[in-house]
A and B are shown apart, each in its own frame.
Chain A
Amino acid sequence: MPKIEPMILAVPKGRILKELLPLMKAAGIEPEASFFDDKCRQLRFATNVDYLELIRVRSFDVPTFVAFGAAHLGVAGSDVVMEFDYPEIYAPVDLKIGHCRMSVAAPKTLLRTEDPAQWSHIRVATKYPKITQRHFAARGVQAECIKLNGAMELAPNLGLCRRIVDLVSSGATLEANGLAEVEKIAEVSSRFVVNRAALKTRPSEINHWIRSFQEAVNAA
């Protein structure tokens, strides 16, 4: 049998990884030991599958690695996939982990004095400027986005702007900062993503992993 060309799976650092590992195992991927060593500075890891390597990158970078074909496979939240909206990425499996929702939030006091139907221009702090713009443009509102990389909840309280678009899971952080959820933009979960050209040029191998992850999800 001819040797299979190398293939790379990009996985996100952080909280999703814990939920992801059991699924990877069920799909037949077990990383080398150093992958679990937090002190290890290594960025690429071997797996039990001889042609498959793992890279661990920031969750916002997974779609970029996959879209450009630097990684063939990846795991990314639907929030980041949607934000970049690369035409070169397919998201054929919903891994059903990392559930939360993306919502618009504002101070409770604001909601009492304003009618959102009258907005024509608003300012929003968010990590997701493109999704935010698209969301508001669809209803005729121009959204001026202030890109922040974290601690969005601070923005309304310190007068940076009055609205935010952020991920919400329990709503406790919003509550603690005197904010309320105004509306939901989308449900979020992690997706197994593949590079489009890789699927077209190496269909058997890529389809094998799509099926393996789908079966792992079905069995979970």
Chain B
Amino acid sequence: MKKNGDKALLPAGLQDLLMPAAAHEAEVVRRLIDCFSSEGYDRIKPPLLEFENALLSGAGETLSNQIFRLMDPTSHRMMGLRADITPQVARIAATRLQKASRPLRLCYGGDVLQVTGSQLRPERQFTQVGGELIGVTSDAADAEVIVAAACALENVGVKDLSVDINLPTLVPAIATDLSLEADLARDLRVALDRKDAAEVELLAGKHATLFLNLLHAAGTAEEILAFAKTLDLPGTARKEVERLVAVVELVRVQAPKLTVTLDLVEHRGFEYHTGISFIFFAKGVRGELGRGGRYNSVSVDNVVEPATGFTLFMDTVLRALPKPKIARRIFLPFGTRREEGGAFRAQGWVTISGLEPVKDDRAEALRLSCSHLLEGGHIHELGTN
């Protein structure tokens, strides 16, 4: 290993996915996509690379420093490697699928590449699976994407799933209503992102009580909904909260067993969102399983359309799942007829064929990590050691 170190070393944040993880990931991706397809989300497949200006328009705006760029030698234009698939789907909806009937439901699965990973999530390349619901603003649409993603996650076996529903537009709406200065509003936003009570108190001045109350407005749906109803909010902010209440109630009716939490000030990563957003967590699992929310899909030629959607991060989703069951592998000694193996495969067996006669078939089967051996037409289960 030491000698090959140089060859084996991969750039930071990239890894080889081996067996059985690679097969497991593919299987989980397939099952997730099946769930979304069955709810009418049609699968599309955007390319890995696009021209930079398309990748960075609308929903992609905030990703500028996460994109690897390279020059297209044929067109001499700058291209970017996708760091997120959502902006691509938005682009497709606004261009090629502009005439398709709305609501438009699309889903996708593929890898993205980001310039930097975070300390907690160092992966720079990972698989995203997601869905977008384009062309409607209704509460029912907001609830549908949350419930669809939650059901799919539970369907593939995620335990103790919870969804945190957020309203990233609330604080900006309050700041506008109180006519806070832009700089102050931004600093306050940062302090609220960190739920830094001392800093919020310092910045908010005479509005400290309101903002501290908001800072602490993170908890179970019952608690926070009760709190939200007591909030004395000015115009726009109140409408935002009313929508939140309506959507949360829909989600709770449609997915009564799902744990729902609310956080009225969560905002990080929702920079391009324009309404109700959400994040999936699973108890005891580090990081987010997925996230999503309402945004404006803006195409290159500035066609604006309301949309909402979700993205699941497969690295975290896989961490939240139990280890995959190892398939039954049967060793077929040299000379086993092909049809015999076919019969096993048809029953779901994985067959490992001997390519030459060996002295001890049993030892050979164990060496090749088989759980079973075909011997004289009979299946023998092999001990684990």
Contacts and interface: CB of A to CB of B under 8 A. Distances in A.
Given A200-B261, A203-B261, A87 B197 contact: no
A201 B162 contact: yes
A85 to B, nearest CB: 8
A216 interface: no
A204 B198 contact: no
A78 B191 CA distance: 13
B198 A200 contact: no
Interface string A41-72: 00000000000000000000000000111000
B285 interface: yes
B162 A87 contact: no
B316 to A, nearest CB: 10
B120 A92 contact: no
A201 B194 contact: no
Given A69-B286, A86-B119, A200 B216 contact: no
B72 interface: no
A189 B288 CA distance: 30
B69 interface: no
B120 A67 contact: yes
Contacts of A89: 194
Given A68-B286, A88-B120, A197-B285, A204 B197 contact: no
B282 A204 contact: no
Nearest to B202: A187
Nearest to A186: B199
Interface string B194-215: 1111100100000000000001
A177 interface: no
Interface in B249-264: 259, 261, 263
Contact of B283 (A78, A81, A202): A202
A68 B120 contact: yes
A202 B281 CA distance: 11
Interface string A159-190: 00000000000000000000000000000010
A91 B197 CA distance: 6
A191 B200 CA distance: 13
B268 interface: yes
Contacts of A204: 219-220
A16 to B, nearest CB: 16
A195 B194 CA distance: 11
Given A68-B286, A200-B263, A90 B194 contact: yes
Interface residues of A toward B: which range?
Answer: 20 to 34
Contacts of B160: 201
Given A68-B286, A201-B162, A87 B218 contact: no
A26 interface: no
A207 B201 CA distance: 19
A191 B218 CA distance: 18
Contacts of B216: 92, 207, 210
A94 interface: yes
A93 interface: yes
B52 interface: no
A201 B201 contact: no
Interface of B: 118-120, 160, 162, 164, 193-198, 201, 215-216, 218-220, 223, 259, 261, 263, 268, 279, 281-288
Interface of A: 5, 67-69, 78, 81, 86-94, 189, 191, 197, 199-204, 207, 210
Going nearest first, the 10 A-B pairs with the smallest beta carbon separation are A90-B195, A94-B198, A203-B219, A201-B283, A200-B164, A91-B196, A200-B281, A92-B195, A201-B281, A207-B219
Given A87-B193, A92-B215, 18 more contacts: A86-B120, A87-B268, A89-B194, A90-B194, A90-B195, A91-B198, A92-B216, A94-B198, A189-B198, A191-B198, A197-B286, A200-B162, A200-B263, A203-B218, A203-B223, A204-B220, A207-B216, A207-B218
